[in-house]
């Protein structure tokens, strides 16, 4: 029986020490630094984090605009 090959563009079948999850981080990294690196700036989580920031900023901007110019929305 022949051995099957890896799918195209699947990358290497081995990991270097820098690619192993949880490795390659500074030894003196704090829990906060690890949280920021793994949850905020991780490439796979960045699109979702950006959409959250955009949604919250649009919400806060809407509140500020209505508080500032809300009387223009009410007919005289």
pLDDT tens sequence across 3-61: 677 777 776 666 555 555 555 667 788 999 999 999 999 999 999 999 999 999 999 99
Q: Report the predicted TM-score, pTM, of the whole model to 2 decimal places.
A: 0.58
Pairwise CA distance, residues 59 & 22, whole Å:
35
Task: Give the Cα-Cα-Cα angle 13, 16, 20 (nearest 5 degrees).
Answer: 95
């Amino acid at each position: 029986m022949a051995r099957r090959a890896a799918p195209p563009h699947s990358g290497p079948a081995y990991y270097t020490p820098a690619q192993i999850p949880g490795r390659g981080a500074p030894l003196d990294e704090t829990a906060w630094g690890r949280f920021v690196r793994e949850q905020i700036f991780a490439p796979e989580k960045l699109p979702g984090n950006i959409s959250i920031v955009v949604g919250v900023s649009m919400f806060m901007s809407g509140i500020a605009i209505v508080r500032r110019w809300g009387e223009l929305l009410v007919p005289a």
